Amino acid sequence: MPFVELAGDMIHWYRLTPLARAPGGWHEVELRLPAGCYGYKYRTGDGEWLLDPENPRTRGCDGVRNSVLLVSGSAEPVLHAAGPPLLSWEPEGRAVLRAGLRRGQGAGLRISWDEGHGERLTTMRKVAEEDEHELFETFLPVTAAAFAYTFLLDDGRRVGRDTAGPVIALRGVRPRPLPTPPDWWWDAAVYTVLLDRFRRGGGAGSWGPDPPAPGERRLRPASSRPRVRVATPRRLLDDSAVGSVSAPSGR
């Protein structure tokens, strides 16, 4: 069995997922994933890392090349998916779109978007480069709950969802609003103090330190000092989809 485990952004690169046997000599795993762009690779039993031979889409950075699974994503040559971090929303309501353009496919990207009032065009700004893609970003003043969008290349081609046939627009959906925090929350840090507690073993009950000798001054040991944990606000993803990767056993 040449492919035995899956590693990638779906779960964790250090927590590998075994592939199960499937009909037709294949091995596969099914994962429930929100919209997004996920790099992954297979690892064989002898420790060799391999790209997915059934998936031509790849992404490279700093000399490392991985296969790419896009859930609710765009077609080539644009690297984009309608979910974080490639589609996110600012607290004031603007949509933030990020996308990669495969090298050799043009010098820029534009967004054609419509929230129900007619098509609007916005030029994306180049912000970074990777081995295989140039990365672009833009901010859209979306006011509706959802909007449709496609990418426009320099040669006039329009790129939408990764489907066969006519171009189908991607869809950005504003997440359900969370309770509005007070203004001070955005720059705040939340501290949780955990006090270590000890108990005498053998059923003797609780005990405290021996009293100090006359004139003795003791410092509290480090293990009994309060520990501080910093927590920050967290947003949950609502939309999800099922993404599957599979590999043939005979290659």
Nearest C-alpha neighbor of 9 from the set 54, 46, 40: 40
Average pLDDT over residues 17-30: 85
Per-residue pLDDT tens over the stretch 43-102: 988 889 999 999 999 999 999 999 999 999 999 999 999 999 999 999 888 999 999 999
Better-predicted residue by pLDDT, 190 or 128:
128
Q: For the domain bounded by 1-71+239-251, which CATH number is listed? A: 2.60.40.10
pLDDT value at 198 more than 60: no
How far is Cα 98 from Cα 125, in angstroms, rounded to an integer?
9
How far is Cα 138 from Cα 154, in angstroms, rounded to an integer?
17
Categorize the per-residue pLDDT at 191 as very low, low, confident or very high, splitting at 50, 70 and 90.
Answer: confident
In the chain, CATH 2.60.40.10 covers 1-71+239-251, 73-176
Q: Which two tokens stand for residue 237?
A: 């993803």
**Confidence (pLDDT) at 22:** 84
CATH fold of 73-176, please? Immunoglobulin-like (2.60.40)
How far is Cα 80 from Cα 140, in angstroms, rounded to an integer?
16
**Confidence (pLDDT) at 87:** 97
Categorize the per-residue pLDDT at 4 as very low, low, confident or very high, splitting at 50, 70 and 90.
Answer: confident
pTM above 0.75, yes or no: no
Average pLDDT over residues 220-236: 43
- Return the number of other C-beta atoms located less than 10 Å from residue 59's C-beta: 19
